[in-house]
């Protein structure tokens, strides 16, 4: 099979190479998927660049990158229902704590990491589910039902935030989102009831005004360190902040007492480490929303496997309205 590999940290063009590798037959409890698309996410790019916090050495001698993808089950191992052969699936944690991910013609992995494609979504969209959609679904529903609540999505124009806006609205919440003014219409069209410029100095006041003066029950947070003061000002007593990023301020100071005296729950969410039942709950929410035609999963650009380095560079550049995926076959 054709696969993209790297054997050292570095710039995409310098370290990523296309080569032929043998397919791996599935062992007990495993299956092999002929991949159609591979999703490229910021975590994949950082891993290749050697920019993930605490990682100083390559964990494997050779890595096929990317943890999200989609395709068709081609072969199953012992203990797996043979009727799954031919099933369209999406992949989660493809290259998490494993050397070989989805930037290849096929992947062999534990059977539960290949999830049947939801009705209404195609394989290209399936490559977005394993990281962005799972992150968004967990971030929105980590405290349970949001119906009748107000959900603030910080960074509503980003890949995860855009999906979080849709999911929160589908879940029956009033949705307030922050983004840059150039994205206001796009985020409103995704379902936000109100939008605000994340760079405004009176952002907290704008959020409260958009919610008729009421504090918000739940916050989906992309930049906790940068937004912690605003979050602590607008979160309701016994509210919840689910933060999945803090890239701008990686060692944030915590407004401890403002949060403590509201008895706020702060969750730092990493999609790769969701417990099985929590992950299953997020998957179920994705399936239900997709079945209700409530999910739009825009793709900004599709690259060939040979152009994987360009795909990584597109993710690094940012400022895109959709995901970056690679056609692997």
Residues 282-307 have pLDDT tens digits of 999 999 999 999 999 999 999 999 99
Helices (H), ranges, 30-183: 42-49, 123-126, 134-141, 159-170
With bands split at pLDDT 50, 70 and 90, how would you rate the model's confidence at 51?
A: confident
Helix, strand, coil percentages (3-state) for the chain, rounded to 5, are 35, 30, 40
Average pLDDT, the chain: 97
Pick the residue with more confidence: 193 or 55?
A: 193
- pLDDT > 90: percent of the chain: 96
Question: How many angstroms separate the CA atoms of 87 and 74, rounded?
Answer: 8
For residues 148-158, give the mean pLDDT. Answer: 97
Per-residue pLDDT, 5: 98
Contact 2, 105 (CB under 8 A): yes
For residues 125-147, give the mean pLDDT. Answer: 97
Measured CA distances, 226 to 202, 221, 230, 253 (Å): 14, 10, 9, 9
In angstroms and rounded to an integer, the radius of gyration of the C-alpha atoms of the chain is 20
pLDDT in tens, 10-34: 999 999 999 999 999 999 999 999 9
Q: Which domains does the chain have, with CATH numbers?
A: 2-128+297-327 (3.90.180.10), 132-272 (3.90.180.10)
DSSP string computed for 168-191: HHHTT-EEEEEE-GGGHHHHHHHT
Helix, strand or coil, per DSSP, at residue 114:
strand
Per-residue pLDDT, 53: 73
Nearest Cα residue to 253 out of 275, 232, 228: 228
- pLDDT > 70: percent of the chain: 100
pLDDT at 235 exceeding the cut of 80? yes
Phi, psi of 105 (to 5 degrees): -75, -25
Question: How many angstroms separate the CA atoms of 62 and 124, rounded?
Answer: 27
Per-residue pLDDT, 56: 81
Contact 259, 224 (CB under 8 A): no
pLDDT at 232 exceeding the cut of 90? yes
Per-residue pLDDT, 311: 98
For residues 47-75, give the mean pLDDT. Answer: 93
- Find the helix packing angle between 159-170 and 276-291, rounded to 10°: 70
pLDDT in tens, 236-288: 999 999 999 999 999 999 999 999 999 999 999 999 999 999 999 999 999 99
pLDDT at 55 exceeding the cut of 90? no
With bands split at pLDDT 50, 70 and 90, how would you rate the model's confidence at 52?
A: confident
Per-residue pLDDT, 318: 85
With bands split at pLDDT 50, 70 and 90, how would you rate the model's confidence at 54?
A: confident
pTM for this one?
0.95
For residues 146-173, give the mean pLDDT. Answer: 98
């Amino acid at each position: 099979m054709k696969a993209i590999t790297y054997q050292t940290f570095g710039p995409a063009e310098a370290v990523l190479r296309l080569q032929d590798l043998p397919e791996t037959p599935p062992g007990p409890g495993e299956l092999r998927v002929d991949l159609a698309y591979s999703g490229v996410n910021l975590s994949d790019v950082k891993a290749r660049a050697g920019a993930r916090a605490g990682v100083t050495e390559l964990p494997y001698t050779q890595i096929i990158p990317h943890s999200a993808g989609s395709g068709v089950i081609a072969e199953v191992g012992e203990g797996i229902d043979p009727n799954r052969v031919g099933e369209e699936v999406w992949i989660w944690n493809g290259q998490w704590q494993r050397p070989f991910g989805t930037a290849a013609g096929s992947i062999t992995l534990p059977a539960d990491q290949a999830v049947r494609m939801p009705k209404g979504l195609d394989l290209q969209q399936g490559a977005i589910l394993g990281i962005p959609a799972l992150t968004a679904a967990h971030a929105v529903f980590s405290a349970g039902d949001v119906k009748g609540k107000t959900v603030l999505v910080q960074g509503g124009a980003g890949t995860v935030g855009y999906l979080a806006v849709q999911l929160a609205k589908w879940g029956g919440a009033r949705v307030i989102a922050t983004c840059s003014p150039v994205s206001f219409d796009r985020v409103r069209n995704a379902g936000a009831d109100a939008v605000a410029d994340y760079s405004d100095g009176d952002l907290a006041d704008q959020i409260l005004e958009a919610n008729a003066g009421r504090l918000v029950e739940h916050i989906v947070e992309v930049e906790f360190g940068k937004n912690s003061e605003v979050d602590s000002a607008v979160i309701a007593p016994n509210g919840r902040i689910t933060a999945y990023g803090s890239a701008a301020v990686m060692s944030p100071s915590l407004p401890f007492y403002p949060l403590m005296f509201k008895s706020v729950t702060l969750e730092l969410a990493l999609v790769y480490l969701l417990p099985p039942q929590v992950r299953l709950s997020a998957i179920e929410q994705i399936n239900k929303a997709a079945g209700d035609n409530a999910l739009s999963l825009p793709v900004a650009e599709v690259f060939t496997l040979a152009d994987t380095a360009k795909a990584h560079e597109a993710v690094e550049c940012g400022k895109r309205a959709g995901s970056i995926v690679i056609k692997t076959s």
